[in-house]
Amino acid sequence: MITGRVVFGAMEEVVYGQPAAAAVTEQLDRIGAQRALLMVSGTLNRTTDEIAKIKDALGGRCAGVFDAMPAHTPRAAVIAATEQARAIQADLVVTIGGGSITDGAKAVQICLANDIRTTADMDRVANQASPVAPKVRQISVPTTISGGEFSAIAGVTNEATRVKEKFAHPLVMPRAAILDPTITLHTPEWLFLSTGIRAVDHCVEAICSREAHPYGDAQALRGLAMLAAGLPRVKADPTDLDARLDCQIGTWLSMGALSAGVPMGASHGIGYVLGAVFDVPHGHTSCIMLPAVMRWNKAANHDRQALVAAAMGHAGEDAGDVLDALIRVLGMPRSLREVNVGPEHFERIATQAMGTPWVPRNPRTIEGPAQVREILEMAA
């Protein structure tokens, strides 16, 4: 008889297929927020009218806009956004953008609740299990599909150490997520598709985990099927809104297992280091590492990998090969050398990866940096 524990997150609603401006307004009406800080993509704010439409819809309830969050969510930008939220007495943060902005807002919530005012002071809450609970919450309008809006964990880069740190509390999960495929038309193709592989990575590492459970499997298998079908459709026709929405819903499902307590594995752990140290985009880390990790793990979980291949429509085939083929169809990078990471860096990556939350929970036990190097060499 199996035993387990399923953890349900603090998200209240997911709204899909509706225009972002109307859906954000409805959420503020529902929550009763009066002073929202919009944390948004700078490119979206400066080169499109999408942010203006949301500001106009909110009227006086938009108390400020922050549009200066770089990739990988550096501490300094988190503090800058926190100070703006504090100055305008924000009672809600609305994010419109990619994963770095979503994570930034989660960290802002923790910084506000714990009276964090400097980058050095962030040491008090980085990687801590029980910071003071946030009172100012978040709603999220994602423009990429890496799925961070469905997680209660933020990754923030410490610029001094080049290490990605965890900022977490159950209440940093957004109160609502709004999935509007139209707003993603502005997202660069490489970014949309590569973050889609990040969502695939969530599904695959959840299915293959030693700690998988039926609740997580149900969501991850369906999410994987939707992503494996939807991403090539978006590549073939970037204006296909149905395909984009399928990818967004697949991403939502991809996070179900992780949010319910199923850990990720070495692809995510190594990816943390590649992002923090070498500025490799998160989606690209999954494109490069996931097939290699699957091949390295196969001796330990070939039965679970068979579920992955079947969900992707290729029953009986090698899951690593099926994933490799999907990533190549999308035109994404497939090797570390393509992102300028050479063997001379492998020792540092391997050592640092051992300190991430996920490498120690990889389904095939990784006992030390030498085994991480084996995976890196497969992805070279």
Percent of the chain scoring above 70 in pLDDT:
100
pLDDT at 169: 96
Terminal CA-CA length for the chain:
42
Pairing of strands 137-142, 176-179: parallel
Q: What is the pLDDT of residue 3?
A: 82
Q: What percent of the chain lies above the pLDDT cut of 90? A: 95
Residues 103-113: pLDDT tens digits?
999 999 999 99
Measured CA to CA in angstroms, residue 279 lies from 4, 271, 327, 341 at distances of 37, 10, 20, 10
Give, as one character, the DSSP assignment of residue 362.
-
341 Rama sector, left if φ>0, alpha if ψ -120 to 50, beta otherwise = beta
Tokens 């979980």 — which residue? Answer: 301
| 261-318: pLDDT as tens digits | 999 999 999 999 999 899 999 899 999 999 999 999 999 999 999 999 999 999 999 9
Q: What is the mean pLDDT of the chain?
A: 97
> What contacts 202, CB < 8 A, 6 or more positions away?
147, 220, 223, 251, 254, 255, 257, 258, 264
Give residue 28's pLDDT: 98
For residue 7, the model assigns a pLDDT of 83
Q: How many beta carbons lie within 10 A of that of residue 303, not counting itself? A: 8
Please name each of the domains of the chain with its CATH number. 13-182 (3.40.50.1970), 189-379 (1.20.1090.10)
Q: How far apart are CA 69 and CA 40, in angstroms?
A: 8
Question: pLDDT band at 326, cuts 50/70/90?
Answer: very high
pLDDT for 199 beyond 90: yes
The answer to whether 86 touches 219, Cβ cutoff 8 Å, is: no
Using the predicted structure, report yes or no on whether residue 5 has a pLDDT greater than 90: no
Q: Is the pLDDT of residue 160 over 90?
A: yes
Work out the burial of residue 240: count CB atoms within 10 Å of its CB; fewer than 13 is exposed, 13-18 middle, 19 or more buried. Answer: middle
pLDDT on residue 85: 98
Rounded distance between C-alpha atoms, residue 136 and residue 171, angstroms? 9
